[in-house]
Amino acid sequence: MPRKPAHEQFDTLQAIRDHAFELFGRFGYEGVSVGDIAKAAKLTKGALYWHFHGKDDLYLECLKRLHAIFDEYIFDPMRAQQQSVPRIMALFSGLTLMLRDPRIAQGVAGYWLVPSRTERDAFLHAHRKFEESSRATVLETLRLGVEQGRFNFGDDLEDMARAIILFVEALVLPLRHLSPNDISRMMGVYARTLFRAYAGADDLLALTRAL
């Protein structure tokens, strides 16, 4: 079978990746077949296998793509800040921007559905590694806030880091059922609660009026 020109191969690869990413995000690993992806991309199954060894490889690539979107909007901008308050604000502003990204407009809850077969350990490992990295970034941010005298979390510091990750996931999972205004209101309530409960400096309370 003759190879397609390079630009056509790129277009085909991109179509496979885009449709697979959306389908897995909506229905999870077990809710999507290779045939479903091929049909959505308007390809034969044989053409899809020309580019990917199988469903597992494609799913893992899509999962890592999702993680990269989170890093692009939220965690990389947080890590780039040297002060704790801008880092926390980067979390909320980044989440707002990410939820408007057309790549995740159809929902991504399917990536949190755990495949039942034990040989899918690679998926679980990749997801846990990402969640650990994300939580470590949030935890570092909160500790920095304490060191800089901006927050006082007391014994709640580690639990707050986990709660923030759960909050991010809670907004992303039911994405298709929330409007941008719904999302903005929920983030504002959460941010105001966080600042009012743990702010260690009076000037931080003024920020709650803008959230």
pLDDT tens-place string over residues 152-183: 999 999 999 999 998 888 888 776 667 777 87
Report pLDDT for 122. Answer: 86
**Average confidence score pLDDT of the chain:** 86
pTM of the model: 0.86
> How many other β-carbons are positioned within 10 Å of the β-carbon of residue 74?
23
Domain-wise residue ranges, the chain: 6-210
User: How large is the average pLDDT for residues 40-51?
Assistant: 88
Dihedral class, residue 113 (left if φ above 0, else alpha if ψ from -120 to 50, else beta)? beta
- Compare 206 and 64 and report the one with higher pLDDT: 64
Q: pLDDT-based confidence at 111, cuts 50/70/90?
A: very high
Report pLDDT for 47. Answer: 87
Q: What's the DSSP call for residue 41?
A: T
Locus of tokens 């085909």: 12
Q: What gap in Å lies between CA 133 and CA 116, rounded to an integer?
A: 24
Say if CB 161 and CB 139 are below 8 A apart: yes
* 136 pLDDT higher than 90: yes
Supply 78's token pair. 């947080």
Say if CB 60 and CB 130 are below 8 A apart: no
Q: What gap in Å lies between CA 95 and CA 138, rounded to an integer?
A: 13
Supply 119's token pair. 């040989």
In Å, how far are 51, 81, 183 from 28, measured between CA atoms?
A: 21, 34, 23
Q: What gap in Å lies between CA 93 and CA 67, rounded to an integer?
A: 17
Is the domain spanning 6-210 CATH 1.10.357.10? The answer is yes
pLDDT digits (tens, 9 = 90+) for 4-33: 554 455 588 899 999 999 999 999 999 999
Say if CB 104 and CB 98 are below 8 A apart: yes
Say if CB 193 and CB 148 are below 8 A apart: no
